[in-house]
Structures are given as structure tokens and as C-alpha cells.
Amino acid sequence: MGYDFGILWMSMLMSQLIFLILLLKSVESNLLFRANICDMMRDIWTGIDGSGEYAGLTGARLDGADMLACGLATHFVPSERLPFLEQELVKINTSDPDVISAIISHFSNIPKLKAESPYNKMRIIDCCFSRRTVEEIISSLGNEALNNKDDWISSTIQSMKKASPISLKITLRSIRQGRLQDVGSCLIREYRMVCHVFRGEFSKDFFEGCRAILIDKDRNPKWEPSKLEQISDDDVDGYFSKIEDEDWEDLKLPPRSNLLPYAIAKL
């Protein structure tokens, strides 16, 4: 995504649902995603083969072809075919996924990847974005830039250096914790993260990002802390802790045993 949105997105640490909506809006044609939408959100956030770290730390845009290639979408249906697909789907009286998939496949096609697609950079993404820390990721990208004169590498480094340092750190932590958690735990974790961001206990970068992009529009945010090395692991830990304040109630999800069978299947 562009620089304007990249800063705001990183500072706001949007939840998985918001991130999914933004990805959907960025796709020029329409995509039909997996029926299990909760698993879909988790796949996007945690990523496949390093794409989660790349998308989360840079705010990169993925189009329909990218989503298919990365395995984040099952079908690509051009906009002009959607009315005909809808007509066929309303005719059937079955929930058999094989039947539904066959109908969708009839109207879908496989879009061609663009030359500048991030999917064509997966070797670099896997190598660099698998590093342990944000600092090591940027350093690894810098080493790649020395041996590979690629504008994509340079722009990726710059997008990360322009972003809020604390947002980069907690985003990386969140992505990697999400790989080991179920959907309910992911929702609670991200709810707590967003609450801490809004409270501004350690950093007020959320408000600074809004000022720079939405209010003054000077596109020159002054992040605080301003450098990655000024942020400790304990600082990052604080964003994942339960808020001990009666005015900030923790997220409580309903027990699955109390849900209808079809609702349990979707969670």
C-alpha cells in the first residue's frame, strides 16, 4: 500500500477483520474466499511462507492473482461474471462443498501475476522476513540490496523505516504468536493490543499517525520512541497483557457449547 496508508495502518494496528476488509477493497476484481472466514482471517494475518510478516510489516497490497498464488483465496471470479454465478448458486439446494466449488470453478479463471507481484519475490521474502527481530529483517534486506539492485528491495526497506517502530515490533510479535493460537485466542490478543494502543501508555503513535495523515496532513509523523533499539522486549510484552482497569473490560467470547452447531463450525 502507499506511504500514507502504510503509516496509518501500522500505527493503528488494525484487527484481523479490518485487515481482511482492506485487502478485499484492494482487489480490482472479486474474490470468493474460503467458507470458514475465521480461518481465512488467521491465514492472512499469520501468512504463508513469510508473506504474513511481509504484508504486516510493510502494508503491501495483494491483488487477486497474488492471493491465489499464495493460497489465501480459492477462486477468482471477474466482476462481470458474478451475477451469473449468483443465479446458478440460488438454483441449488445443497451445502455440499464439492458441488458449490464446481459451480464457482465454472465461472472463475486464473489471473496472470504482474511482473512486480510480491509473489515473484518469495525467495527474498522467505529469507529476510523469517529473521527473529525487526532489526534483523531490515538488516537482511539491506544485505540483499548490496547484491541485488532491485527497486522493490529499496522500497520495502524504506516503507519499514518510515513506519512506527513500536508498531513494527508488536506487529511482528502478534503475527508469530498467532501461528500457535486458535482463533479465539487471536481475537483476545488483538483486542488487548488495540486497547493498549488507544490508551497510549507507552507510545502515542496511533494519535501521531492520525495527526500526520488525517488532521495536519503533513505526512511527517514524529514517532516516539523514534528508534527500534529504544524498545525493549518488556515494552512489547505490555501490549499483550490484560488491562487491569475496570473501565477497560477484557474481551470475553461466548463458550462454544452454547452456540448453534453451524456457528461452532464457523468459529
pLDDT 10s digits, 140-195:
999 999 988 889 999 999 999 999 999 999 999 999 999 888 888 999 999 999 99
Q: List strand residue ranges (DSSP E) for the chain, in order.
A: 30-32, 75-77
CATH number at residue 145: 3.90.226.10
Q: Rounded distance, CA 31 to CA 120, Å?
A: 21
Scan for cell 501508555, then name that residue. Answer: 201
pLDDT of residue 30: 33
Q: Rounded distance, CA 160 to CA 168, Å?
A: 8
Domain assignment present for residue 88? The answer is no
Domain assignment present for residue 101? The answer is no
| Window from 78-87, 128-137, 175-184, 232-241 with minimum mean pLDDT | 175-184
Domain assignment present for residue 108? The answer is no
Domains of the chain: total: 1
Domain assignment present for residue 61? The answer is yes
pLDDT of residue 261: 56
Q: Is the pLDDT of residue 41 over 80?
A: no
Facing residues of 32 across strands? 75
Q: Would you give the DSSP letter of residue 130?
A: T
Domain assignment present for residue 257? The answer is no
pLDDT of residue 260: 56
pLDDT of residue 257: 66
Type of residue numbered 77: V
Report the Cα 66 to chain-centroid distance in Å: 14
Domain assignment present for residue 161? The answer is yes
Q: Which domain holds residue 189?
A: 3-79+113-238
Domain assignment present for residue 198? The answer is yes
Q: Rounded distance, CA 92 to CA 99, Å?
A: 9
Q: Would you give the DSSP letter of residue 243?
A: P
pLDDT of residue 147: 87
Q: Rounded distance, CA 171 to CA 45, Å?
A: 10
**pTM for this entry:** 0.73
Domain assignment present for residue 181? The answer is yes
Arithmetic mean of pLDDT over the chain: 81
Scan for cell 457449547, then name that residue. Answer: 257
